[in-house]
Structure 1
């Protein structure tokens, strides 16, 4: 019994034996109860047949009295009564025969012979009364016939009374015997049930003490060991008292704990190496971040310095170009060259201004001068400043104001420069565009300014265009530094507004930039 399979096999076998034994006892008890019930019912049926026989005999006696009268009303009544008596006798005889054939020990042949003799006496009494009636019917004197039939009936009653009483008493005793057997069977079944229950309790107690409790104890030890392993106590080991399946499981558990212990040691060593590597990498990253921050500060300082240094000579160049253009001494052949120089210098001046604004916005040096301003005038001025560039590019530029002007708290110069930058982006970057339009719409609590075109629209990653120095895929360095949208978002957010990029409506093409500004 060193194997759990054998133990569980014995347990299952014992349970099966108990079940088979209980089933056998149940079948036997049902069979015995059925036989006893059948015997009781048969005795009841025979009692009913004997009662019917008694009635038939009484009717036969009355028919005999009527047959010997002076004027019998129904001559056939005696024949019918005789036949009924014979059928009743045969029915009682058949009931006794079936009882001895099906009951076995409950009604043996001696009892059948004992009960058959009263039936023979009843048949003989019926035949004797029949013969006496035939003799009386031949007597011509009515008084003698009456006396003769009275004596015959008295003799008939005396002969049939004792056999009928005997048969009724015999069947009554049979019913009482069946009832007593039922009570005895009930007592036996009760005793058997108590014995089976006691046996089942004993078997369960033995199984619990010899199998269940030791198994539960060992399983609880394994659970406690697993909990200790889970808490990190990898030195936990369990005893192996047996070599059954559970013992093999405990041995596997111990081997697992040993492997986990070795693996933890290796992991600890690897963690130490990793922490050292991470520390070195962190130090390198910090140094790199410091260098990047220094480079970024140098870049912002460079942009600010370069922008500041370039604005003065560009302003001088623009002033000299204006003086030369207005001077009558300037030859006409030089005027187109001066105009070209002025246009290029003006564009470079705008780029330098963008760089300077970006540098100042990154360093937080910009201070907005917010005051009440009408948006329609600011937008009209921005469209007018960009009209010449739109005309040069042969792109229609239009402004669609709202029905009523919208007044907001804003810095008009910065708003104008933002709108000019958005228009300039549309003119330069909208491939295939034929028109650009600026729309002002009043909204509850503010206004919405939209700069739209009918070009190819924004690329899929349009939100990345808000990053500094980010240009569209088709842009070239000659088309700008990629700082317009970044500056626009910075200015709009400082005005507590929101800037969004979108596309045209359903079935339309082009790009759309919306500025939502609070009143």
Structure 2
């Protein structure tokens, strides 16, 4: 048998055969037991009917005595007793007929024939006694009636006693035989059950040794091999002893182990190459980080050095311009030239101060000098500083100061630089830009509002991400001097204000709105006193 299907089919067929034979034996035993029980119960029923018949016969004899002893009474008692006897005789005959109905056993028919004759004698005894009672009742002599009834009753007893005893004894023997047959059947069934159990155990042992145990042993070998392969022992191999389903499984396991072994070798080689690549890339990244750190340090040092180096000569230039302007009259009036030099130098100084602020903001060294100031001059200066850049880009840059100037408590230079940064962002990042408007509004209890509006494409879905630190626009090549929206928001919040991004007029363009709280004289006085205290402490320390 080279197929596990045939082996398991044989196993299941053997089990099914054993089950069928066991079921057939059980059914046969049940049938035999039912027949034995039916015979015994039928004999018991007939015995009870014979006992009832004996009682009816006795009642019939008593009725005959009463009828002869009192001839003037109505003969109803005699008739009732006669009917009871006939009914009992009929019931016994029917029970005897049922015992042989459908039976082909000659013993049953012989026993029925033996019981028929006593039953005929009982019927004859009832008829004879009935005739004798009829004759005795007509006798006029009471003594003769007494003698006649005694003789009739003696004859009736002689005729019924022996048949009844025979029938009762026969039924009793039938019950005894049924009980003996039941015990014999029980003994045979026990022997048959023991033999069936032994045969089933022998068959199970045979099937276990020939089919189940070899199959389980091979499955266990496959399980151990799979566990070893799963544990990393990829050189594990199984011997292919048969060509059945388990043999094919063993062959597949061997092929799987061989493929896994080859794949593990390739994975080990790839891992080594990957580790070398990662190590090389890590070294490159370290070197790049070191270079970036050096560049960043150089950049910071450059900002600081440039700021300090440029501020000193610019201060000298401005001083010389002031001295020349205050000097006596000359042949040539250089006042306009000096005014232009001063104006350009002041703008360059502002740029240098902006560079210094940016350098300090990147290092976290931001100090605010909050004072009471009017916003209109600050905004006008911011617009004037970027007017040339707007003209170069052909963008109309206008300032709308509003009805009156608004005073706030703020750092003048940082406020100017924030507004310049917003204008610079609009000029550099708005595609198709034609107009930028800086407006001042508010007053009274309402906050002072600064708006920078353009007619460009707007912010779109980037409104929230533009406030992120180090976030850059879509045109990173244009560097500019802006401080960025993240720093602008931080500065406005330090001034207790808010900054919002939104759309321009009619939903087109972009608008940046700065709201600053109006000037509170009490707060301004406190801040001035605090600054004076700090200045005095510095002078004392110096």
TM-score by length of 1: 0.73
Q: Deviations over 1:423-450 (max 9, x none)?
A: 7777887999988899xxxxxxxxxxx9
The C-alpha deviation readout for 1:111-137, integer Å capped at 9, x for no partner, is 111111111110111111111111112
- Which secondary structure state, in structure 2, belongs to the residue aligned with residue 17 of structure 1? helix
* Structure 2 counterparts to residues 380-395 of structure 1, below 5 A: 393-394=399-400
Map residues 352-371 of structure 1 onto 2, 5 A cutoff: 352-360=352-360, 362=362, 364=363
Note closer, same or farther for the CA distance 1:291–1:474 as it changes in structure 2 (3 Å cut): closer
Equivalent of residue 465 in structure 1, options 464, 467, 471: 467
Contact 2:500 2:512 in 1 (8 A): yes
Determine if contact 2:318/2:342 at 8 Å carries over to the other structure.
no
* Equivalent-residue separation in structure 1 for 2:51 and 2:472 (angstroms): 123
For residues 49-88 of structure 1, what are the structure 2 equivalents within 5 Å? Answer: 49-88=49-88
Alignment deviations for residues 116-164 of structure 1 (CA, whole Å, 9 cap, x no partner):
1111110111111111111112212233223212221121122112211
Partner of 1:137: 137
Q: Deviations over 1:339-396 (max 9, x none)?
A: 9958x956x756644543443455x5x55789xxxxxx95966979967679984488
Kept in 2, the 8 Å contact 1:418–1:487? The answer is no
Q: Is the 8 A contact 1:466 1:489 kept in 2?
A: no
1:1-60 deviation digits (Å, cap 9, x = unpaired) = 232222111111111111111111121122222222222221222122112211221222
Q: In 2, are the aligned partners of 1:52 and 1:88 still within 8 Å (CA)? A: yes
Partner of 2:529: none
Query: Do structure 1's residue 44 and structure 2's residue 44 form an aligned pair?
Result: yes
- The match for 2:390 is none
Q: Which residue does the alignment assign to 1:307?
A: 307
Structure 1 position 254, deviation (Å): 1.4
Matched, 1:21 2:13: no
Shift of 1:246: 1.0
Residues 358 and 487 of structure 1 are in contact (CA less than 8 Å); yes or no, is this contact kept in structure 2?
A: no
Whether 2:169 is the aligned partner of 1:169: answer: yes
Gap runs ≥5 in structure 1:
371-376, 402-411, 439-449, 515-519
1:491/1:423 Cα in 2 relative to 1: closer, same or farther (>3 Å)? closer
SS at match of 1:181: helix
After the TM superposition, which of the residue ranges 9-18 and 240-249 deviates more from structure 2?
A: 240-249
Stretch deviating more after TM superposition (429-438 or 171-180): 429-438
Corresponding residue of 2:247 = 247
Equivalence for 2:535: none
- In structure 2, distance between residues paired with 1:181 and 1:512: 117
Gap runs ≥5 in structure 2: 384-397, 427-435, 503-509, 516-542
Displacement, 1:250? Answer: 1.0
Distance 1:257 1:472 in 2: 57
Find the counterpart in structure 2 of residue 108 from structure 1: 108
Distance 2:19 2:450 in 1: 90
1:151: which partner in 2? 151
Tell me: CA distance 1:30–1:338, structure 2 relative to 1, closer, same or farther (3 Å). farther
Alignment of 1:189 with 2:189, yes or no, is yes
In terms of mean alpha carbon deviation, does 28-37 or 477-486 score higher?
A: 477-486
Cα RMSD for the two superposed structures: 5.0
Q: d(CA) in 2 for partners of 1:452 and 1:171? A: 130
Q: For the residues of structure 2 that align with 1:106 and 1:435, how far apart are their CA atoms?
A: 136
CA offsets 1:216-238 (integer angstroms, 9 cap, x no match): 22222222222222232222211
Q: Contact 2:229–2:257 at 8 Å: present in 1 too?
A: yes
Measured after TM superposition, the shift of residue 279 of structure 1 is 4.2
Shift of the 262–78 alpha-carbon distance from structure 1 to 2, 3 Å rule, reads same
CA change 1:476–1:236 in 2 (3 A) is closer
Say if 1:49 and 1:314 are closer, same or farther in 2 by CA, change over 3 A: farther
Instruction: Summarize the Cα distance change of 1:393–1:83 in structure 2 as closer, same or farther, 3 Å threshold.
Output: farther
Shift of 1:489: 5.8
Note the alpha carbon deviations across 1:305-344, whole angstroms, 9 max, x for none: 33334444666788899999999x9x9x979x979958x9
Query: Do the aligned residues in 2 keep the contact of 1:43 with 1:174 (CA within 8 Å)?
Result: yes
Indicate how the Cα distance of structure 1 residues 296 and 167 shifts in structure 2: closer, same or farther if over 3 A, else same: same
Q: Is the 8 A contact 1:436 1:454 kept in 2?
A: no
TM-score in terms of structure 2 length: 0.70
Query: 1:122–1:160: 8 Å Cα contact kept in structure 2?
Result: yes
